[in-house]
Amino acid sequence: MLKSAAETIASPGPLRLSDFASQDPTSRSGFIDALGNDFVEHGYVLLAVDPAQEEIQSYYEAAAGLLHGMPEETLRKFEFVKQGIERGYVSSPCGAPKPITVSLGAAPQYVAAAGLSFFFESHNGAPTVTVSGTDGEVRVSLPTTADGVNGSGAEVRVEHQGRSLRFRCIDSRGVYQVFAPDDKHGWITGRRHNIYPAGMGEFAKVSASVYRAQEAVCLTVLEALAQFLDDRNRVIRNLVTDGSGQSIAEHSLRVYRYPGMKRNSAWLGDPLLVRVGEHRDISLLTVLAKASLPGLQVQTRDGAWVSVRAPENGSVVVAGEILAEMTKGLRSGTGRPLGIHAPLHRVVGSAETMSEDRYTAPFFFNPDLRQRIPSLAHGGAVKIRGIELDPGLRLLHSHMRASTQFARFTFEEFAAEFERLGERLSEVLAKNSQIQAVVN
């Protein structure tokens, strides 16, 4: 049976980002080596770094005033994701469902995720799952083999309380993946073309401040990594800055609120309580400031889940798939593998924390997606999830096609629209004169 608890191990670091700027060569080189080794071995690093926790706490408080204090119907006026504009409000449920792996080796198994409860058991000799929510429950029979059920690839689907749920058998010995949209809502801030409801000036101000601080962290980390990887041709750095060091890539700061679930007596047993399913980030790097509640877990290379918590004044920096693919097969002059690990990670709860709201502020540090994304090992364009990133914008296009109006656009049309972010946002606002917004 899978458990929500995980062994807490001595995490790598925390490293002091200030050591990279040190005049002491030993401190500087030590930081570079430790940072690079942590990314290769673990896929993440703990950093003692600005912004201070006080600013992050202010960000969460401002976000709570927006996400918890403003009516949903008002917030929905600022939701433009379905129009391909990743700015403003993101409703719940949102995003592509991330899998939650469940083993029925010792059924029954209880799981809480996405604001719903899942009870896996053997019913009349066959595996089933009962999905419960505020509006009743539904029982679903599960496939018993991983090689197909009704031609759907060992997968069953069910609609419940407006959620599209999928249950996939990945091992005939009783291992399943549950796909349910995360129960969260939040706000997206970028480098420019941002929009906020009028009266939310403090939220706009602190959002911009946190964005700048996290971008600076990533630029420094990437510079140190480039030296660790001996990137003498500035391949990685040219994907994020121009010759003068100015940022040319569009990154994304997101603040999310995960509403607390109603306390359930079953949580006192041995359940798996999931707030974010297991996944890898596509970005170069993801910076995770200390969340309002613990729960982050990272999967080690040998498959174990370990609990990770950001330092009090610091962050967890996780390597993304693009960075991992760019360094795949790369070796040092002595033959040592330098491929960076992009780890699976998830967020779980406990009986003590699952009933509370959780706030988190991931910062996704991306390359300039208009460029070709090359391999440091062989120079060819890398592939992410089967898509050749030549340019990397093809990856974003594939995701937009799946859920927005861009499904009807060719890649060339999408690329042209991508360059018009500010214009398109202005066009949307012009059609919604009732929206009182602050734009920066």
Flag whether 313 is in a domain: yes
Indicate whether 235 and 371 sit together in one domain.
yes
Indicate whether 130 and 244 sit together in one domain.
no
Cα separation, 348 vs 325, in Å, equals 27
Q: Which pLDDT score is estimated for 74?
A: 93
Indicate whether 178 and 189 sit together in one domain.
no
Flag whether 394 is in a domain: yes
Flag whether 24 is in a domain: yes
Flag whether 53 is in a domain: yes
Indicate whether 225 and 147 sit together in one domain.
no
Q: For residue 138, which of 117, 109, 168, 153 has the smallest C-alpha distance?
A: 117
For residue 335, what are the contacts with CB-CB under 8 A and spacing of at least 6? none
Q: Is the pLDDT assigned to residue 12 strictly greater than 70? A: no
Flag whether 29 is in a domain: yes
Average pLDDT over residues 240-266: 91
Indicate whether 80 and 98 sit together in one domain.
no
Indicate whether 339 and 222 sit together in one domain.
yes
Which domain covers residue 119, as residue numbers? 94-182
Indicate whether 172 and 205 sit together in one domain.
no
Enumerate long-range contacts of 128-133, CB under 8 Å, 24 or more apart: 129/167, 129/176, 129/178, 131/158, 131/160, 131/165, 133/160, 133/161
C-alpha torsion 337→339→340→343, nearest 10: -100
C-alpha torsion 345→342→396→436, nearest 10: 50
- Whether the pTM exceeds 0.85: the reply is yes
- Per the CB < 8 A criterion, the answer to whether 231 and 237 are in contact is yes
Q: Which pLDDT score is estimated for 8?
A: 47
Indicate whether 117 and 194 sit together in one domain.
no
Indicate whether 243 and 206 sit together in one domain.
yes
How does the average pLDDT of the chain come out, rounded? 89
The residue among 298 and 109 whose pLDDT is bigger is 298
Domain CATH number, residue 251: 2.60.120.330
Q: End-to-end alpha-carbon separation of the chain, Å?
A: 50
Flag whether 232 is in a domain: yes
Domain count, the chain: 2
Indicate whether 222 and 249 sit together in one domain.
yes
Give exposure, 289-302, as e/b (b: 16+ Cβ within 10 Å): bbbbbbbbbbbbee
Name the least confident of 4-13, 224-233, 294-303, 426-435. Answer: 4-13
For residue 130, count CB atoms less than 10 angstroms from its CB and return exposed for 0-12, middle for 13-18, buried for 19 or more: middle
Name the least confident of 85-99, 220-234, 385-399. Answer: 85-99
Q: Is the pLDDT assigned to residue 172 strictly greater than 50? A: yes
Q: Which pLDDT score is estimated for 50?
A: 64
Indicate whether 286 and 245 sit together in one domain.
yes
Q: Which pLDDT score is estimated for 316?
A: 96
Flag whether 386 is in a domain: yes
Q: Which pLDDT score is estimated for 4?
A: 37
Q: Is the pLDDT assigned to residue 435 strictly greater than 80? A: yes
Indicate whether 158 and 189 sit together in one domain.
no
- Per the CB < 8 A criterion, the answer to whether 107 and 119 are in contact is no
Q: Is the pLDDT assigned to residue 194 strictly greater than 60? A: yes
